[in-house]
């Protein structure tokens, strides 16, 4: 995960590695299919961009033997190193990373929607790839979690707090927006699609509260601490009819999937 640095909501959104591993393992469960699309080959040198706690990095490592995981969260990298000491994990920003040895491929799952400065990230990926190197990316696309966002903002307003602009927090581009950025920055796009993927949240007992705490903390910056819990509970109650189905909570995720090659 690469949160925060570029988000203009301010606050230092520290990722809670334990909460992430325990209750948001769906993030890397879904990533396995993306590794199949990456199709790592033995001997390839691959970068996992926004590796979080390193579970997918390890899967890639098993298949190619040479992987580096980067993440801007020191807490995530600390946890990844503890879990997988044989793998090279480093703290680095998605918009500003440099390696002496270029990669055959760059992989990124559920991260790039945190990177508001998408063009810098694309340029950085380009610089760190071999010629004809590939990128395989999946992240939130246009309309991602729009049901949740609308309800957060609606409820903030009901509690007399201003709503927050989504594009200050996340970057959810359309396919055409993102592929244009790629083509303008030296990539040939081989595959680009967007699909709905309602995603079951790990903890049904605590509903959507863990998700709000983990991922949407930026919306609550500037909200009095004494109000946060009540606002979050109200959001949850209001989302129940739409997102709770047969006793399970689902977030309205929309994914963009990209495969592209350096020209
Ligand atoms: C996502 O994976 O689409 C996502 C996760 C957290 C916040 C927003 C989007």
Q: Which of 215, 82, 87, 140 is nearest to 70 (CA)?
A: 87
List the domain boundaries for the chain: 17-144+171-201+253-262
Residue nearest to atom 3 of ligand 1 (CA): 140
The CB of 243 under 6 Å from ligand 1? The reply is no
Residue nearest to atom 2 of ligand 1 (CA): 110
Residue nearest to atom 7 of ligand 1 (CA): 215
Tokens, residue 242: 């739409």
The whole-angstrom separation of Cα 112 and Cα 140 is 8
pLDDT at residue number 128: 98
pLDDT at residue number 12: 41
DSSP, res 110: S
State the burial class of residue 123 (Cβ atoms within 10 Å of its Cβ: 0-12, 13-18, 19+). middle
pLDDT at residue number 11: 34
Yes or no: say if 187 and 262 are a contact pair by the CB < 8 Å rule. yes
Query: pLDDT 10s per residue in the chain (263 long)?
Result: 544 344 333 334 445 566 556 555 666 678 899 999 999 999 999 999 999 999 999 999 999 999 999 999 999 999 999 999 999 999 999 999 999 999 999 999 999 999 999 999 999 999 999 999 999 999 999 999 999 999 999 999 999 999 999 998 999 999 999 999 999 999 999 999 999 999 998 766 678 998 999 899 999 999 999 999 999 999 999 999 999 999 899 999 999 999 999 99
The whole-angstrom separation of Cα 150 and Cα 5 is 24
Q: Which of 104, 101, 5, 102 is nearest to 50 (CA)?
A: 5
Tokens, residue 183: 């083509």
> What sign does the CA torsion over 7, 11, 17, 20 have?
negative
For residue 222, report the phi and psi dihedrals to the nearest 5 degrees: 90, -5
User: In this structure, how many other beta carbons lie within 10 angstroms of the beta carbon of residue 95?
Assistant: 19
The CB of 219 under 6 Å from ligand 1? The reply is no
CATH superfamily of domain region 17-144+171-201+253-262: Vaccinia Virus protein VP39 (3.40.50.150)
The whole-angstrom separation of Cα 51 and Cα 40 is 16
CA of 175 to the centre of ligand 1 (A): 17
């Amino acid at each position: 995960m690469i949160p925060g640095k570029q988000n203009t909501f301010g606050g230092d959104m520290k990722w809670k590695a334990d909460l992430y591993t325990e209750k948001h393992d769906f993030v890397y469960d879904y990533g396995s299919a993306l590794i199949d699309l990456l199709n790592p080959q033995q001997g390839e040198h691959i970068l996992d961009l926004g590796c979080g706690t390193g579970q997918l990095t390890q899967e890639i490592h098993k298949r190619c033997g040479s992987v580096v995981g980067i993440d801007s969260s020191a807490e995530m990298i600390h946890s990844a190193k503890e879990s997988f000491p044989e793998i090279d994990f480093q703290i680095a920003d998605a918009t500003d990373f440099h390696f002496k040895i270029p990669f055959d491929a760059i992989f990124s799952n559920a991260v790039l929607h945190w990177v508001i400065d998408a063009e810098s990230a694309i340029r950085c990926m380009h610089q760190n790839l071999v010629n004809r190197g590939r990128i395989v990316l999946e992240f939130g696309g246009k309309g991602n979690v729009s049901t949740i966002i609308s309800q957060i903002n609606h409820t903030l307003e009901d509690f007399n707090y201003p709503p927050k602009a989504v594009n200050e927090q996340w970057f959810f581009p359309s396919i055409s927006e993102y592929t244009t950025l790629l083509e303008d920055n030296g990539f040939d796009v081989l595959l680009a699609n967007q699909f709905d993927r309602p995603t079951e949240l790990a903890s049904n007992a605590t509903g959507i509260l863990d998700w709000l705490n983990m991922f949407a903390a930026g919306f609550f910056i500037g909200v009095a601490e004494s109000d946060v819990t009540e606002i979050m509970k109200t959001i949850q109650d209001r989302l129940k009819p739409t997102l709770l189905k047969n006793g399970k909570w689902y977030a309205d995720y929309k994914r963009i999937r990209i495969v592209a090659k350096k020209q």
